[in-house]
Structure 1
Amino acid sequence: RLLDDLDEAQRAAVTCEQLPLAIVAGPGSGKTRVLTRRIAWRIATGQAEASRVLAVTFTRKAAAELTSRLGALGVIDDDGVSAGTLHSIALAQLRRRAAARDQTMPGLLERKARLLVPLVAGTGRRGPDTVATAADVAGEIEWAKARLITADDYPAAATRLGRTPAVGVDTVAGLYARYEREKRRARLVDFDDLLWWCGDALETDPDFAAEQRWRFRHLFVDEFQDISPAQLRLVRGWLGDRADLTVVGDPDQAIFSFTGADPTALTDFRRVFPGAHLVRLERNYRSTPQVVHAAEALLADGGRRRRPRHAMCSDGPVPTITDYDSEADEAAGVAARIREARAPGRPWSDFAVLYRTNAQSAAFEEAFIAAGIPYRVRGDGRFLDRPAVRAMLERLREADVAAPGMPLTAHLTDLDLDTDTDGAAGDEESARSADERRQHTAAIVRLGREYAAIDPNGSVDGFLAWLRTALRNEDAPVDGDAVELLTFHRAKGLEFDTVYVTGLERGLVPIAHADEPAARAEERRLLYVALTRAEHALHLTWARRRTLGSRECGRAPSPWLEPIEAATRASDPSATAARAPSPDRVRDELERARDRVARAGSGDRDDDAPDPELLAALVEWRRTCARAAAVPAYVIFHDTTLRAIATLRPTRPSALLEVSGIGPVKAARYGDAVLEIVRRHTDGPALASA
């Protein structure tokens, strides 16, 4: 019975007797079914005792689903399999250890901000930025602890791994050390401590280790591609010198390196666990062939050799690609299409709207309220509830108190300018935080200008009241039937009949700060995760103009739309009509094609390579600017931005804004000088517009 409805590969994964075992399971391949059936099979055949099984998941929901499925299979009783998250299992084991020693377990600190906000304020930072800085430092501490890096070791490790947080490595290290001291003084532990402490106990306390290994003899770990060094150490501690380990994961869905996750534990499984065996599940039972072909084309375009996945469902509609004039039009267009597609009796929960950054939800919330569509924002909650948004609105309030007669539009401009200079330097993590702040500020400024158009004499207080009313969402239930709004990251592990993947523009997908090969590869995998959430219908959208602060900027489609579009044409030649490019875009592409032909005939350099003389001139100009302003060179422009300028050679302000790393403020500040340098060094056709 346990094997009846499984395919050949699934059956092999369930019955395999070689250990350790890694099951590499692609999207829709029946991962949870195979994991539960394997546990049940090993219990039913006497290879495992239910009470000695430990199943590790990354969410409480996944643990509950796993135990529910095992119960439905009828092979466990109330004293059966133990399942839970790594943190919950570690906490339970540490509590038992403390009780056995007549000790009291320290209290659990659920939010680092409780201790970090006062510590950050003690460094001289005040106001709304204190909370945002504390959140950035908390993220950096969590990354360090996931990689087993102490406060003393953090500066060297952060430098070695290229992390340059906005507040500085030394500041983070100091706050990390003070945070740890304050935590000990208050007799508290955070979630990261649970993994570290339990790992320490397994390595240093033989009795404790023997007890856990006696109790849990059969280990099963889900989502193994997302495991961190601290988590891997804990799994190794539970395993000891035994081989009874089964893991399930998919390297193509490894998207959490910014939290400290390291997918090499799965990609190099045979090296990490010598003698291990691999089984691959490559059939997708979730999505139509059209969705699978689009997702596979995206990964194939990345150049990494891999075995393709195959769709087992019947045919469905060809994925569509639609461009809109602006992000407001995009949101309104998606809302209209969802309302049109929802037949009587069809649940709203069939539909999901995915986006790269949290800030992008604001436009969709507004459009769905106007269209009367119930929605649910997953993750960080509604737009006005997010810490970054509250911080920006508090900054507006403070500015209004300091200058009560100042027009709202002037306050909005100042807010935009101030935020554009926040986090000008930093690594991927700090750049991500700065980008999130800028995205949220851009949404606030856009909404503020909408309000100002309604009430030209409106005040900050009036805008805040209007904002609460405009986004109150009274008729859209938080629970119950609703369209899901969520980021690509939050969509992991979920599936929907119809999915809209939105904002597919350069600078968002891939995100602007992903300028290293590993970061761009993860961005590609992240889009792959978003695409494979669709069961039946997949719609991709982007906006030709997006409001960034106080200006509307021209946008270019994500470069990863090309392989997806090619896949849709291959699966259905009539699919070319699914994309309706604007006349401007057609003209620009024709101009670029003519440029490439002209250069090929003249023997000129590759268009995709930076002009070395132009790049040298830009570097020298940046050095001069940095010295004059007494700031590091990267505060002016990052190296990758200069390389992009030297490659694209923009000659107009609108084209300069298309370059990754250049926003409206930097374009206004440095644009004329940069364009003049480009003009002096351009010896052929250059990118006039995009």
Structure 2
Amino acid sequence: MTAATHSTLFPQVPDSADAVLEGLDPEQREVATALHGPVCVLAGAGTGKTRAITHRIAYGVRAGLLQPSSVLAVTFTNRAAGEMRGRLRQLGAHGVQARTFHSAALRQLQYFWPKAVGGSLPRIVDRKIQLVADAAAACRLRLDRNELRDVTAEIEWSKVTQTVPAEYAAAAAKAGREAPRDPAETAQIYSAYEDLKRDRAVIDFEDVLLLTVGVLQDRQDVAEQVRAQYQHFVVDEYQDVSPLQQRLLELWLGDREDLCVVGDASQTIYSFTGATPDHLLDFRVRHPRATVVKLVRDYRSTPQVVHLANGLLAQARGRAADHRLELVSQRPPGPLPVHTEYADEPAEAEGAARRIRELIDAGVPAGEIAVLFRVNAQSETYEQALADAGVPYQLRGAERFFDRPEVRKAGVALRAASRFGSNDSLLDDVVDLPSQVRAVLSGEGWTPQPPAGSGAVRERWESLAALVNLAQDFSTAKPDATLADLVAELDERANAQHAPTVQGVTLASLHSAKGLEWDVVFLVGVAEGMLPITYARTDEQVEEERRLLYVGVTRARERLHVSWALSRSPGGRPGRRPSRFLDGLRSGSPAARSGRSGPGAAAGVERGRSLGGGTAAGPRRTRRTPARCRVCGRTLTDPGEMKLMRCEDCPSDMDEGLYERLREWRAGQARRSGQPAFCVFTDRTLVAIAEAAPDDAHELARIPGVGARKLGRYGAEVLDICAGREPVAEDDVD
């Protein structure tokens, strides 16, 4: 461990309040010294917002202006809360409460429930999805596993937006949500779910907030007691606050204004959970006397990465975009972002794995590299490609580190060794702490070399290797540390869910990557239909997809690779196109060809070669009857383009799931009729149907390739598939 790494992981506690302010830039110092009244910190990605607010709390405590027990800092994840607690301890601000909204609310609810309601707090249900399944069964509705997850998500959204079952349908329509089932059915299941909870005397995760709000609203004495305890509030990631969390915060505050909020509207990516940036954007309306500080000095990313990030937001639209922050990199220049096109997804994964292997061989630590994608289903291809290339990896967003069975078992073994080490033959003649840990964990399956391949065995080894690496860092920082000291450190980290870094490439969805950073980031699958995702239909939904890509870009410190594939599988139809969000930001994109310039213009941005051998569409044939592209308006001359009613290289808004369902249905029709599949519908016609997703026979008939004969023969079944229903062939009807 270098001296710089040591000072970062285990810094010295400042010896005075003034020393807490040392090293802060002017804007961070302004945040740290603004201790009274409402404060709003607009903090861009990589600008040191956590540093600013923890130094603010620590400065107030060390200067005697804030009582530690009167401060409540809230955020959204156990990891973020654990990091905040750790930083406050390092700054000498002991006794400050740093919790998630749910953790803070649960603590209060458990304390006040006997007094406010009577008896003990109902049990929190472990598996909500099973309760939803029971509710659906009570309504005589049959849901598969995916539908159960979707309906569960709708119930969660309803509760955090304070929507009751009777109001669900109207609220979902107003919010533009894509309901997984008929809204009336979802509302029925939601109502039955609430009834079942009451019958079984259980509550769910969202009830913790709802019940705390209810107690604070109904019992003035309880509200006054909470307000007497907590007098200063700090809210991190304020753009992610839901209406329910905002209501809880207002009840905590009462008529006071000792509140500091920190957020960035351009990083609002969780609206599907009820999060909204409106509370951040309206903060100065609610608090006209608020101190507002903007943090725009980006200490994380190179100017080249920041340039691309700023360019993404420069094209954004909507209210959040109107309040975007123009980042200014504070780092030395680095390499230009690389844009790469591949023939298919396996080629894209193999290309990324090959480049990652080269980076690791050149000395870049595997733990400083990440592969980020839009949906978790994309990970499998990259897991296999990395395993084939001999690259270690970890999958983020799965089971929490300290909840993994192998980690729990390793903890038991280390604790036993710390108590009875002198009687353990494994530890004979082993003096230093790292060697002791390696000796103990060798009995749990750790080996000096990782196992071959991927899967559960490799994941188990990576977990144990993370503990070995942590022991090495801990011993370097504290040379006299014993095994018992390490066990105590592990217990503290487990309580805070502060997992050690696994020395492997991180595979993660863009949503789960929020709040993290790496030296090298591979943004993969950046194609139309994936970013923006096909079901992002409204302008606001598309803009949130843009913000999601912005979050991905700003995870990179030094190197950024952006890639997409023209088709899903080798030999497939090369119908995909790079995301519209890259227009003007890469060479050869539509905006770049038209000569548009600006903060995100393509000039100077390198476009990588296609490592998968894919090529652009070939020369177009002519057609006597011209038509116009429905995307860009250009005159069409190619028969295939005429069928799609768009240029070959214009963005496709095809629903790929719908396309695959249509292909499966077509294959069945072809088998039953004994004719080739293209005689039912050609691939081009299926693509056109998947792009149009017609709602009725009139819309379906307008698609080239669907004549009157095929409309009469197949129309009803195709429309059923487009509507998400199981098609019923005439032969199946009694």
1:540 aligns to 2:562 (yes or no): yes
Match of 1:420 in 2: none
Match of 2:726 in 1: none
**Gap regions ≥5 residues in structure 2:** 1-18, 401-451, 467-502, 588-596, 667-679, 690-699, 707-734
Amino acid at match of 2:654: S
DSSP-derived class of the 2:79 partner: helix
1:116 aligns to 2:110 (yes or no): no
In the alignment, which of 292, 308, 311 is matched to residue 278 of structure 1?
292
Aligned-residue offset at 1:664: 3.9
Amino acid at match of 1:110: D
Match of 1:103 in 2: 119
**Contact residue 20 and residue 55 of structure 2 kept, 8 A:** yes
> Which sits farther off after the overlay, 8-17 or 649-658?
649-658
Aligned-residue offset at 1:150: 1.1
1:341 aligns to 2:335 (yes or no): no
**Number of corresponding residues:** 548
Match of 1:660 in 2: 654
1:474 aligns to 2:474 (yes or no): no
Amino acid at match of 1:288: T
In the alignment, which of 514, 518, 528 is matched to residue 536 of structure 2?
514
1:585 aligns to 2:645 (yes or no): no
Amino acid at match of 1:85: T
In the alignment, which of 229, 236, 255 is matched to residue 222 of structure 1?
236
In 2 relative to 1, CA 381–206 (structure 1 residues): closer, same or farther, beyond 3 Å?
Answer: closer
Quick one: distance in 2 between partners of 1:156 and 1:113?
A: 24
Quick one: distance in 1 between partners of 2:181 and 2:190?
A: 12
Identity of aligned residues (%): 38
1:375 aligns to 2:393 (yes or no): yes
**Gap regions ≥5 residues in structure 1:** 383-468, 615-646, 682-690
Aligned-residue offset at 1:470: 8.1
1:136 aligns to 2:150 (yes or no): yes
Amino acid at match of 1:9: E
Instruction: State how 1:268-307 maps to structure 2 within 5 Å.
Output: 268-303=282-317, 304-305=321-322, 306-307=324-325
Amino acid at match of 2:561: H
**Contact residue 290 and residue 568 of structure 1 kept, 8 A:** no
In the alignment, which of 85, 102, 105 is matched to residue 90 of structure 1?
105
DSSP-derived class of the 1:489 partner: coil
**Contact residue 339 and residue 606 of structure 2 kept, 8 A:** no
In 2 relative to 1, CA 579–117 (structure 1 residues): closer, same or farther, beyond 3 Å?
Answer: same
In 2 relative to 1, CA 53–659 (structure 1 residues): closer, same or farther, beyond 3 Å?
Answer: closer
Quick one: distance in 2 between partners of 1:569 and 1:342?
A: 32
1:554 aligns to 2:554 (yes or no): no
Quick one: distance in 2 between partners of 1:380 and 1:167?
A: 27
DSSP-derived class of the 2:275 partner: coil
Amino acid at match of 2:30: A
**Contact residue 495 and residue 533 of structure 1 kept, 8 A:** yes
DSSP-derived class of the 1:543 partner: strand
Aligned-residue offset at 1:170: 1.2
Quick one: distance in 2 between partners of 1:50 and 1:659?
A: 53
DSSP-derived class of the 1:278 partner: strand
Query: Deviation digits for residues 525-569 of structure 1, max 9, x if unmatched?
Result: 000000000011100111111149x96553111112223326999
In 2 relative to 1, CA 266–537 (structure 1 residues): closer, same or farther, beyond 3 Å?
Answer: same
DSSP-derived class of the 2:193 partner: helix
In 2 relative to 1, CA 500–609 (structure 1 residues): closer, same or farther, beyond 3 Å?
Answer: closer
Aligned-residue offset at 1:366: 1.4
**Contact residue 113 and residue 121 of structure 2 kept, 8 A:** yes
In 2 relative to 1, CA 106–579 (structure 1 residues): closer, same or farther, beyond 3 Å?
Answer: same
Aligned-residue offset at 1:174: 1.1
Query: Deviation digits for residues 164-219 of structure 1, max 9, x if unmatched?
Result: 52321111111111111111111111110111111111111100000000000000
> Which sits farther off after the overlay, 659-668 or 246-255?
659-668
> Which sits farther off after the overlay, 152-161 or 295-304?
152-161
Instruction: State how 1:402-441 maps to structure 2 within 5 Å.
Output: none
Quick one: distance in 2 between partners of 1:61 and 1:570?
A: 33
Quick one: distance in 2 between partners of 1:147 and 1:240?
A: 21
Q: Which has the greater radius of gyration?
A: 2
Quick one: distance in 2 between partners of 1:362 and 1:580?
A: 22
Q: CA RMSD in A?
A: 3.6
Aligned-residue offset at 1:605: 7.9
Amino acid at match of 1:585: A
**Contact residue 577 and residue 650 of structure 2 kept, 8 A:** no
> Which sits farther off after the overlay, 473-482 or 672-681?
672-681
Match of 2:83 in 1: 65
Amino acid at match of 2:97: S
**Contact residue 351 and residue 483 of structure 1 kept, 8 A:** yes
**Contact residue 569 and residue 576 of structure 1 kept, 8 A:** no
1:203 aligns to 2:217 (yes or no): yes
**Contact residue 628 and residue 646 of structure 2 kept, 8 A:** no
Instruction: State how 1:312-391 maps to structure 2 within 5 Å.
Output: 312-343=330-361, 346-380=364-398
Amino acid at match of 2:160: A
In the alignment, which of 4, 12, 22 is matched to residue 4 of structure 1?
22
Quick one: distance in 1 between partners of 2:186 and 2:608?
A: 49
Quick one: distance in 1 between partners of 2:249 and 2:362?
A: 49
**Contact residue 396 and residue 506 of structure 2 kept, 8 A:** yes
Amino acid at match of 1:160: K
**Contact residue 19 and residue 244 of structure 1 kept, 8 A:** yes
Aligned-residue offset at 1:83: 1.3
Aligned-residue offset at 1:349: 0.7
